[in-house]
Amino acid sequence: MEPENDLLEQQLPTPAQIREQGYTLLVPTMLPTHFKIMEGILRSYGYKAELLENSGESVVEHGLKYVHNDTCYPALLVIGQLLSAIESGRYDKHRLTLLITQTGGGCRASNYIRLLRKALAKAGYGYIPVLSLNLSGLEKNSTLPLDLGLGTRLLLAALCGDLLMLLRNQVKPYETEPGAARALERRWVERLAGVLSRGSAVSYFGIRRIYRQIVRDFAAIPVQGARKVRVGIVGEIFVKFSPLGNNELEEFLAGENTEVVMPGLIDFCMYCAHSSLTDARLFGLHRVKGLVFGLALELLEGMQKDLIRAVKASGRFDAPTPFAHVARLAKPLISPGAKMGEGWLLTGEMVELIEQGVNNIVCVQPFGCLPNHIVGKGMLKPLKERYPEANIVAVDYDAAATRINQENRIKLMLSNAALQA
């Protein structure tokens, strides 16, 4: 970097200043449901958080312009979306912060934040501060400060987001009144943002009651028709969840008369904690950290169990699979040591889906995704040997990959699904 940038870097406001001075905090779209709740929580903590909704050509173009074009597509999109927002004229550029998540680990994804800073400098916005949301101790000086309260609230938002996504996917294909499930989801997102906001007295007991209410509300939506073909989506976390990343895959599949099944975000969080355990057990690294994350994992598993119980109690909806079980399912195929990117979890989720009877799976990844060569595409053959009924299509996403090619391949998978049904 040029010296000017170094100077500027030193003058960047601290996270505390960002909050106190009323900087707008832009959040890229990864999980529309979950992040919307989190946006509300961050606001209650004094951040002027705003979940971005811009999409389209301008996002991709900004990405292509400022990010090395061989970098993975999610980086290109996230950075493109942020830069396109900066230049949209809607924000005061000198009162703006960007938030980006970082998992840490041997994948390129840990570098997104640095690539974002590089892109900002290149575009002449070196003065815009970037905050990292991570639990790995990366980017010490510019991490969003997570105290126990905020951390817990974000975690609960992830769980509730998973629940809303799960139920919406199971109700939407059958609703008699189009749009009812989405509308209910939106209402709950708003309510949850309030319930989980700072200062509101939220007890874990209360959350469990809310789970039941959500389940009841979705169960009350009038539905009709026979069960449709179910299609699972697994893959690299960004293109799996973000409509921006996967060309609105969920919408496409809904239009093809299917029911979408998507393993949730909380599994990924647990997988991250599990990775630290693996580091300690298998590689003899960071044993203390391993202990802490081991405890955290147990806690999370307990929370997931509560959620599962609430769904099961309905007697109508399919509940998520407990994390520990997914881990057990993955083990015969791939070692828990495979922990870069989505690692063994991706393989495990495919097995989990098949075990639930969801044989039809779209495995999505950014073009050239390194871990997915192994944990995604590399596992298809052994998976099919073990589960001959599996009907999986791997689809690459990329700035220049076209929707028509992607949809044609998915249609082939769907044709076979119809044959099996």
Partner 1 sequence: MRTDRTDTGANALCLGIDLGSTTAKVVLAEGERILYEKYRRHFSQVRETLLALLEEAEPLIGGRRFRCALSGSAGLGLAQAASLPFVQEVFATAETVRRAEPDTDVVIELGGEDAKIIFFRGGLDERMNGSCAGGTGAFIDQMATLLDLTPDEMDRLSLESERLYPIASRCGVFAKSDIQPLLNQGARKADVAASIYQAVVNQTIAGLAQGRKIEGKVMFLGGPLSFCLGLRRRFTETLHLTEENALFPDYARFSVAMGAALYAARQSQELDLEELRARLRDAERAGGGLASEPPLFENQAELDAFIHRHQRADLRRGDLTRARGRAYLGIDCGSTTTKFVLLGEDNELLYSFYDSNRGSPVEIVRQQLKELYAQCGDRVTIAAAAVTGYGEDLIRHAFHLDLGLVETLAHLKAAQHFQPDVDFILDIGGQDIKCFKVRHGAIDSIMLNEACSSGCGSFIETFARSLGYGVEAFSQLGLLAKHPVSLGTRCTVFMNSSVKQAQKDGATVEDISAGLSLSVVRNAIYKVIRASSAAELGENIVVQGGTFLNNAVLRNFERELGRPVIRPEIAGLMGAFGAALYAKSQAKPEGSSILGPEELELFSHRVHAAVCGGCANACRLTVNLFDRGERYISGNRCERGLGIKKAPGEGLNLYEFKRRLLEETASRPGPAQKSRGVLGLPMALGMYELLPLWHGILSALGFQVLVSGASTRQTYLKGQQSIPSDTACYPAKLMHGHVEELIEKGVDGLFCPCVVYNVEEGASDNHYNCPVVAYYPELLKGNVDELRQVKFLYPYLNIADRQALAHELWAYLHKNGYALHRQEVRAAVDRGFEAYERYEAAVRAEGQRVLARARQEGKRILILAGRPYHIDPEISHGIDKLCESLGFAVVSEDSVWRLAQGRPELGVLNQWTYHARLYRAAQFACENPDVELVQLVSFGCGLDAITSDEVKEILERNGKLYTQIKIDEITNLGAVRIRLRSLLGALEEREAAYGT
167: contact with partner 1 by CB under 8 A? no
17: contact with partner 1 by CB under 8 A? no
Distance CA 233, CA 215 (A): 22
Return the residue of 95, 122, 212, 312 that touches partner 1, per CB under 8 A. Answer: 122
64: contact with partner 1 by CB under 8 A? yes
- The angle at the Cα of 76, spanning 70 to 80, to the nearest 5 degrees, equals 145
Q: Which is nearer to partner 1, 112 or 211 (CB)?
A: 112
The HSE-up count of residue 102 (CA atoms within 13 Å, CB side) is 28
364: contact with partner 1 by CB under 8 A? no
Q: Which is nearer to partner 1, 289 or 377 (CB)?
A: 377
377: contact with partner 1 by CB under 8 A? yes
- The count of residues interacting with partner 1 (CB under 8 A) is 77
Q: List the interface residues with partner 1, window 65-94 (CB under 8 A).
A: 65-66, 68-72
338: contact with partner 1 by CB under 8 A? yes
Closest to 37 measured CA to CA, from 178, 187, 173, 180? 187
Residue in this structure with the two tokens 């001075």, named with its chain if needed: 21
341: contact with partner 1 by CB under 8 A? yes
Within 10 angstroms of residue 84's Cβ, the number of other Cβ atoms is 20
Return the residue of 182, 335, 355, 357 that touches partner 1, per CB under 8 A. Answer: 335
9: contact with partner 1 by CB under 8 A? no
In angstroms, give the least distance from the CB of 340 to partner 1: 4
b/e burial code for range 257-293 (CB count within 10 A of at least 16 → b): ebbbbbbbbbbbbbbbbbbbbbbbeeeeeeeeebeeb
254: contact with partner 1 by CB under 8 A? no
Residues in a beta bridge with 360: 231, 391
In angstroms, give the least distance from the CB of 93 to partner 1: 17
Stretch that binds partner 1, among 144-152, 212-220, 312-320, 413-421 (CB under 8 A): 413-421
Pairing status of strand 229-235 against strand 360-366: parallel
Q: List the interface residues with partner 1, window 124-153 (CB under 8 A).
A: 138
CB 390 within 8 Å of CB 362: no
